[in-house]
Structure formats: C-alpha cells, structure tokens
C-alpha cells in the first residue's frame, strides 16, 4: 500500500515538473506578475480610478458600493448632529419657549443618521424636515443631494461597465483544445478550430498568432518570450471573416514559417508557446473584444485532422455538432516539411521530365521527316 502511494506521488510530482508554465492560459488570462514597482507607479492607479474600479473583482465592487453609501450617510449625519448641537436642539439641552429648531425631530446622533439617510435616498417619511430658519441647513442639504447623485451615477456606471465588459462576450468564443498538423490543399499546415457560440456575429473579425519562445541572438543575448508573427488564414480569406459557424484556421508551414524545421519526432521536445488572437466587434453592443488562447508543443498533434461538425438537416437548416469540435482523427501526413517538399519536388521533376521528353520526341520526328524529304529531292536533282 505504501509503495502504491509512493509511486502515485512520484508521478504526480513528475507531471508537475514537466508542466510548462504558460504566459497565456487556455481561457485567455495572462500568467504574469509585476514586482518592485515604485510607489509613484501605485499612485497612478488612483489617478486612473475609473479603470481601476472597473477592473477590480466583484467582491470589491460590492464592498465599495456598501461603503460609499453608508460612509456618506454617516459623514453627513455627523454634520447634521453638529448643526443640531450648535443650535441647542439635542435632548438634554435647555430649550426656551421661543426656541426654533433647524431640523425638526433631530435631537440625537441616531435621528441625525436617519435624517441623512432619508435625505440622500429621497425617502422623506415626513417625520423630520428642515424648518428653514438656519442658512447652514439649506446649504448642507443641497450639498448632500449633489454628492448623493454623484455616488449613484458613479456606482451605476461601474456596475454597468462590468456587466457589459467585452471580456464577457469573449467567453462565448471558444478554440479547440488541441491544434493539428496535416496536409491541406497540397501544403503541410497547422490547423486550429474556433467557434462562436452565439448566433450574433463578430463583425470585422481578424485572426493572428504569436509564437513565444526563448532565443539567443548572435551577440549572445538571451531574449525571453521572443515574439514571432504567425499568419493564420481561412478558406474565405484572412480579414473580415464571416464568423457565422465554426471556422478552421490554418497556417501554411513553408520556408518563412518558424515551424519549418520541425518534424513529428522533434515537436514534443520543443519549448515554445503559440498564442492565437481573435479580434472582433460584437454585433449587438458594438463593443470590441479580443479572445486569446495558447498551445504548447504537447497540445499540437502531428498527423491528425479535425472531424467534420457541420451538416445539413432534412428541413434545409445547417446544424453544428459540437461533440466533435476538438476531436481529431489520424491521417496520412509527411514526417517533416523537408520530406514533403523533397517528395513533391521529385514528383514534379519526374512529371516535368516526362512531359518534356514526350514533347521533344514529337518535334524531333516532324523535323526529321522534313529534312529527309528535302534531302531526297536535292539528291535526285
């Protein structure tokens, strides 16, 4: 029993060691942290307070919502209490028959807090009200009303901005869990599948990729996360995609591709990360959004092709079956790009030679026939 547990623990730790750290997770979140930021840089977050409040977590938004309202009610209740105390309106203070209160029924801190809450939320139960005998109370109620309107607008804007965030729209766009390498239209290509789960389109969609890897320059400088552009295309083009159904993106592996020197054997041992981006504008909200995902070498299958997922029903509608969205099947694929190119060049060279020999043979026969006839006539003369 102990040996079984030990073996399980060994393979678990071994798997964690072999697990490559990603810069971009599968769900698009960036795995990066910042350290040793100067204090003045932290102060910049306060200057850009709107973006800070929109990007914070929901739990802090709710905390800010409660704190902003209850805090403002309490602060203004202290001001109302101070006015009532200076005017002699509190319980225990000596009142004369000619005494006029600034605010009726505000005779303690509790009643001052209730009056502050009723004023800012425009409840107005009628039990407490201004008498109009004190100029300070008129100015204070105007100021508190303006502050209350500002807090309402700001908090409603933050909540609305978080609800309508483009990141939420990006959650309904999904990529295949793995990428495949196979033949497509006579070329060795890397294929990725992407789907829009909503029926509303993403207008002006553009797809591109970045290959992240550690490289060493000729000068000996090591560059971590060096970025190389990866061009992706679909059968209908590269930009302004008609993203109404799942699309299969493909990158042609040729001499200009960074995957040109890879093979089926060397691919799993590579150390890189392929990040794929999809930019578009939501048709319903006109907000721009970006969807990201990444693939490491262990998530790229050499010699596989995606299963079909689009079919047509008897009623004439097109049906997308997401059961096979990320599933693939093994297909005949060259072992490497060089093998494919050498085989294709050899076949093209043989076909070209056969055509050339056949063409020369026809021309030579005709030419010889003419020469023979002319030569015979000359001899007879």
Give pLDDT, residue 345: 52
β pairing state of 328-330 and 304-306:
antiparallel
pLDDT > 70: percent of the chain: 81
Please state, rounded to an integer, the average pLDDT across all residues of the chain: 79
**Pair of tokens at residue 35:** 């350290």
**Pair of tokens at residue 246:** 């799942």
Give pLDDT, residue 171: 78
Res 164 pLDDT > 80: no
- pTM over the 0.75 mark: no
Better pLDDT: 238 or 207: 207
Domain positions in the chain are 41-164, 169-339
The long-range contacts involving 259-262, CB below 8 angstroms and separated by at least 24 positions, are 259/190, 259/337, 260/337, 261/337, 262/336, 262/337
Better pLDDT: 37 or 313: 313
Q: Look up the CATH architecture of domain 41-164.
A: Orthogonal Bundle (1.10)
Residues in the chain: 381
Res 32 pLDDT > 90: no
CATH code that applies to domain 169-339 = 2.60.40.1400
Give pLDDT, residue 20: 61
Strand ranges, E, within the chain: 173-175, 179-184, 187-196, 202-216, 222-231, 239-241, 247-252, 272-282, 288-295, 300-302, 304-306, 310-312, 318-320, 328-330
Q: Are 87 and 99 in contact, with CB atoms under 8 Å apart?
A: no
Give pLDDT, residue 96: 73
pLDDT by residue (tens digit) across 97-133? 778 888 888 888 999 999 999 999 988 787 888 888 8
Q: What is the arithmetic mean of pLDDT over 318-333?
A: 88
Give pLDDT, residue 289: 82
Give the residue carrying structure tokens 């004369």: 96
Res 204 pLDDT > 90: no
């Amino acid at each position: 029993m102990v040996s079984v547990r030990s073996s399980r623990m060994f393979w678990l730790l071994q798997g964690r060691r072999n697990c490559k750290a990603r810069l971009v997770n599968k769900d698009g979140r960036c795995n990066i942290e910042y350290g040793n930021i100067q204090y003045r840089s932290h102060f910049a977050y306060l200057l850009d307070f709107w973006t800070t409040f929109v990007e914070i977590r929901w739990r802090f938004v709710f905390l800010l919502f409660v704190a902003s309202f209850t805090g403002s009610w309490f602060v203004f209740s202290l001001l109302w209490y101070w006015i009532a105390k200076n005017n002699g309106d509190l319980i225990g203070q000596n009142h004369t028959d000619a005494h006029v209160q600034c605010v009726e029924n505000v005779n303690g801190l509790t009643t001052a807090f209730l009056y502050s809450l009723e004023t800012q939320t425009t409840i107005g139960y009628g039990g407490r009200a201004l008498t109009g005998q004190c100029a300070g109370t008129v100015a204070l109620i105007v100021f508190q009303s303006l502050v209350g309107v500002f807090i309402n607008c700001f908090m409603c804007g933050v909540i609305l901005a978080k609800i309508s965030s483009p990141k939420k729209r990006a959650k309904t766009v999904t990529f295949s869990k793995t990428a495949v390498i196979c033949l497509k239209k006579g070329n060795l290509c890397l294929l990725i599948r992407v789907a829009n789960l909503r029926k509303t389109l993403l207008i002006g969609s553009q797809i591109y990729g970045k290959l992240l890897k550690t490289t060493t320059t000729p000068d000996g400088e090591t560059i971590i996360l060096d970025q190389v552009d990866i061009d992706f295309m679909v059968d209908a083009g590269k930009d302004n995609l008609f993203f109404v159904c799942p699309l299969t993106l493909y990158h042609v592996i040729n001499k200009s591709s960074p995957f040109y020197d890879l093979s089926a054997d060397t691919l799993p041992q590579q150390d890189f990360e392929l990040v794929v981006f999809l930019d578009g504008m939501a048709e319903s909200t006109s907000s721009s959004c970006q969807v990201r995902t990444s693939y490491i070498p262990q998530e790229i299958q050499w010699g596989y092709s995606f299963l079909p997922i689009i079919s047509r029903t008897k009623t004439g509608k097109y049906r997308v079956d997401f059961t096979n969205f990320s599933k693939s099947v093994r297909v005949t694929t060259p072992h490497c790009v060089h093998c494919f190119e050498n085989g294709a060049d050899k076949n093209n060279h043989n076909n070209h030679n056969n055509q050339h020999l056949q063409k020369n043979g026809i021309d030579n026969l005709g030419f010889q026939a003419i020469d023979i006839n002319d030569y015979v006539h000359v001899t007879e003369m």
